[in-house]
């Protein structure tokens, strides 16, 4: 419906900013409190727009954040002035010639100068209509990112790949995954034999005033947690292997923690260091060297 924005192009985002700066738009309603909806809400708020954000679930960023980290993000959003309404389901965008509001499941209509649908990304697979390339939600590929059609590969937000940790197949729509898939496809098309190791769940929020980063799973058979001076570090382990982490505030160990997830090696020897605020590369090197001293 015209009048509904979905942030699929830079020019669409620029048009909204222009509308706000010209004083023509003072209120916004955003449907969805996933990662993209949250960032748009914060940025519009920073431009002085009165933002209402509705989310049908009982927490923000439910795919990525555990309950505790999500509660911190929600609190920060509200402190920044975003009116986040959880457990609120949108039914339809409504208006005469163009959308002017969002109708809720309760039938109430929330009017807004700017209306945004941020309910998730769906691959546009029109291109495949006349082909016999298989797809579900995204294009199906094998472990070398080959489609079922000879000599046709697929990579990026249009493709369904297994998750590195769970093997579950879905569209892992983020930039690092797209780049890695592009690398694997490029090498395989050039004649190398490269297996794709699987997509990574990861996300970060940069505009909250306090960085938040989440990688991997948000459950395990063991949970390590440290709260210190406004920072929160939660680590999820399965059989002494790191399978996920959530960082609030101090995100400096993210790179090393992600490497531990990718390697899936037994972390028992360093487990007691993982919550140390100084945990980092220096400590790992020291650990590696000291047994020989």
Ligand X SMILES: Cc1cc2nc3c(=O)[nH]c(=O)nc-3n(C[C@H](O)[C@H](O)[C@H](O)COP(=O)(O)OP(=O)(O)OC[C@H]3O[C@@H](n4cnc5c(N)ncnc54)[C@H](O)[C@@H]3O)c2cc1C
Residue 175 binds to ligand X (criterion: CB under 6 A): yes
Contact region with ligand X (CB under 6 A), list: 59-67, 89-97, 175-183, 228-236: 175-183
* CB-count burial class (<10 Å; 0-12, 13-18, 19+) for 255: exposed
Residue 174 binds to ligand X (criterion: CB under 6 A): yes
Binding residues for ligand X restricted to 60-119, rule: CB under 6 A: none
Contact region with ligand X (CB under 6 A), list: 61-69, 170-178, 235-243, 255-263: 170-178
217-256 mask for ligand X (x: CB under 6 A)? ----------------------------------------
Calpha distance 286→25 (Å, rounded):
56
Calpha distance 216→69 (Å, rounded):
14
Contact region with ligand X (CB under 6 A), list: 65-73, 169-177, 257-265, 284-292: 169-177
- Minimum distance from CB of 101 to ligand X (Å)? 23
Please state the three-class secondary structure of 123-182 as a single string. Answer: CCCHHHCCCCCCECCCEECCCCCECCCCCCECCCCCEEEEECCCCCEECCCCHHHHHHHH
Output 109 or 182, the one with its CB closest to ligand X: 182
- Minimum distance from CB of 235 to ligand X (Å)? 22
Residue 127 binds to ligand X (criterion: CB under 6 A): yes
Output 131 or 225, the one with its CB closest to ligand X: 131
Nearest to 150 by CA among 127, 132, 164, 167: 132
Q: What is the DSSP secondary-structure string of 170-220? A: E---SHHHHHHHHHHHHHHHTT-------B--EEEE-SSSS-EEEEE-S--
Q: Which of 43, 56, 125, 178 binds ligand X (CB under 6 A)?
A: 178
184-191: long-range contacts (C-beta < 8 A, 24 or more apart)?
184/144, 184/145, 184/155, 185/145, 185/153, 185/154, 185/155, 188/144, 188/145, 188/146, 188/153, 189/153
- Minimum distance from CB of 93 to ligand X (Å)? 19
22-61 mask for ligand X (x: CB under 6 A)? --------------x-------------------------
Residue 157 binds to ligand X (criterion: CB under 6 A): yes
Contact region with ligand X (CB under 6 A), list: 20-28, 68-76, 105-113, 174-182: 174-182
CB-based closest residue to ligand X: 156
Output 119 or 174, the one with its CB closest to ligand X: 174
Residue 7 binds to ligand X (criterion: CB under 6 A): yes
Total residues at interface with ligand X (CB under 6 A) = 10
> What are φ and ψ of residue 263, in 5° steps?
-70, -30
- The gap between the terminal CA atoms of the chain, to the nearest Å, is 69
Calpha distance 217→234 (Å, rounded):
11
User: What residues line the site for ligand X (CB under 6 A)?
Assistant: 7, 36, 127, 156-157, 173-176, 178
């Amino acid at each position: 419906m015209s009048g509904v924005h979905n942030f699929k192009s830079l020019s669409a985002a620029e048009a909204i900013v222009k509308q706000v700066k010209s004083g023509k738009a003072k209120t916004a309603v955003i449907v969805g409190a996933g990662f993209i909806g949250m960032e748009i809400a914060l940025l519009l708020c920073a431009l002085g727009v009165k933002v209402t954000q509705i989310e049908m679930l009982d927490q923000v960023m439910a795919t990525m954040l555990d309950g505790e980290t999500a509660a911190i993000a929600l609190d920060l959003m509200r402190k920044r002035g975003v009116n986040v309404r959880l457990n609120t389901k949108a039914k339809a965008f409504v208006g005469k010639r163009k959308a002017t509001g969002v109708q809720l499941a309760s039938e109430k209509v929330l009017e807004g100068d700017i209306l945004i649908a941020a309910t998730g990304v769906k691959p546009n697979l029109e291109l495949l209509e006349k082909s016999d390339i298989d797809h579900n939600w995204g294009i199906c590929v094998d472990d070398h990112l080959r489609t079922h059609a000879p000599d046709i590969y697929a990579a990026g937000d249009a493709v369904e790949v297994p998750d590195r940790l769970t093997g579950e197949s879905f569209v892992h729509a983020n930039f690092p995954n797209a780049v890695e898939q592009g690398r694997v496809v490029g090498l395989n098309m050039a004649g190398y034999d490269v297996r794709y190791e699987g997509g990574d769940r990861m996300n970060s929020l940069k505009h909250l005033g306090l960085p938040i980063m989440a990688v991997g799973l948000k459950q395990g058979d063991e949970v390590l947690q440290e709260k210190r001076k406004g920072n929160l570090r939660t680590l999820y382990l399965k059989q002494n292997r790191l399978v996920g982490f959530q960082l609030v505030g101090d995100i400096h160990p993210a790179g090393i923690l992600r490497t531990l997830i990718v390697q899936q090696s037994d972390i028992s020897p360093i487990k007691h260091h993982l919550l140390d605020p100084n945990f980092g590369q220096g400590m790992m090197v020291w650990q590696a060297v000291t047994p020989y001293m």
